[in-house]
């Protein structure tokens, strides 16, 4: 059985200010750094120290990845920082205050722009665009390591990881709309030899979130909205 751990970067400076971020290269907050170390310590404690890691080239992701791998005792393991895992380009929304955009667009359109597969803000990417650049990397670089039995950590962003989770779990459009990935909490997928998840949605590895996820089978797909 292979183990894939998805980890959205820890809290960034713009998460803390509730701004659309996309490809803007902002740093982690001290809280985000702590979340990253905690994630690594948890992985080590659970016997899930990764053999290899892949992360986005944006600093909030590679910094999370480095802190997590160090804390997991795997500071010397191979790490690939790649464009394929970078956050969705949010185009004209980057740098804008979410509350202001919500007021402008109304709830339904705000949700569609953020969470549907095909909405594309001017100058930006849709989630389908993100999948198109991410999945070839998944198939050629990540999947073979998993097939060989490695425990692999993937550190990305709200939307690059939503694209990957949508592929892994074959999410319906409605499930995709509802999928929110929390910052800094590892999400474990145990995969069969064909790399299909043994449990749809995976399982959050967080001392607080895990019991809730166990109690409600739907919860792993939705846990931890920002």
In Å, how far from its chain's centre is CA 104? 27
- Of 71 and 181, the one with the shorter C-beta distance to ligand 2PG is 181
**Piece of the chain touching ligand 2PG by CB under 6 A; list 13-21, 63-71, 124-132, 137-145:** 13-21
> Is 8 known as a binding-site position?
yes
Task: Cite the DSSP H helix spans in the chain.
Answer: 13-16, 30-45, 59-71, 98-105, 107-115, 127-137, 143-147, 158-169, 173-178, 209-215
- Of 161 and 168, the one with the shorter C-beta distance to ligand 2PG is 161
CA distance 55 to 155: 5
- Residue 99 annotated as catalytic: no
Which helix (H) or strand (E) element contains residue 79? strand 79-82
Residues of this chain, 131-160, that bind ligand 2PG according to CB under 6 A: 157-159
Contacts 24+ apart (CB under 8 A), 106-110: none
Which two three-digit tokens encode residue 119? 């909405």
What is the total count of residues that contact ligand 2PG (CB under 6 A)?
11
**Piece of the chain touching ligand 2PG by CB under 6 A; list 18-26, 127-135, 189-197, 204-212:** 18-26
Which residue among the candidates 87, 125, 157, 189 is catalytic per the annotation?
87
Pattern of binders to ligand 2PG over 85-104, x per CB under 6 A? --x--x--------------
Residue in 2, 4, 7, 20 binding ligand 2PG, rule: CB under 6 A: 20
CA distance 88 to 128: 10
Binding site for ligand 2PG (CB under 6 A): 15, 20-22, 87, 90, 114, 157-159, 226
- Indicate which residues carry an active-site annotation: 9, 87
């Amino acid at each position: 059985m292979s183990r894939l751990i998805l980890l959205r970067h820890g809290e960034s400076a713009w998460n803390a200010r509730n701004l659309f971020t996309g490809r803007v290269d902002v740093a982690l907050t001290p809280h985000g750094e702590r979340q990253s170390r905690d994630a690594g310590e948890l992985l080590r404690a659970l016997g899930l120290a990764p053999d290899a890691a892949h992360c986005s080239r944006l600093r909030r992701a590679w910094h999370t990845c480095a802190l997590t791998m160090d804390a997991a005792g795997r500071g010397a393991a191979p790490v690939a920082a790649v464009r394929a895992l970078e956050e969705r380009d949010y185009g004209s929304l980057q740098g804008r205050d979410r509350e202001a955009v919500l007021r402008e667009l109304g709830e339904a359109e705000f949700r569609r722009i953020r969470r549907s597969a095909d909405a594309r803000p001017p100058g930006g990417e849709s989630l389908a665009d993100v999948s198109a650049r991410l999945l070839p990397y998944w198939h050629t670089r990540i999947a073979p390591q998993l097939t060989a039995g490695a425990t692999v950590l993937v550190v990305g962003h709200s939307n690059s990881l939503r694209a990957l989770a949508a592929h892994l779990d074959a999410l319906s459009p409605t499930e995709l709309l509802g999928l929110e990935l929390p910052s800094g909490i590892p999400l474990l997928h145990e995969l069969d030899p064909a790399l299909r998840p043994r449990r749809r949605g995976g399982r959050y590895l967080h001392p607080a979130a895990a019991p809730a996820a166990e109690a409600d089978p739907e919860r792993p797909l939705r846990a931890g909205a920002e």
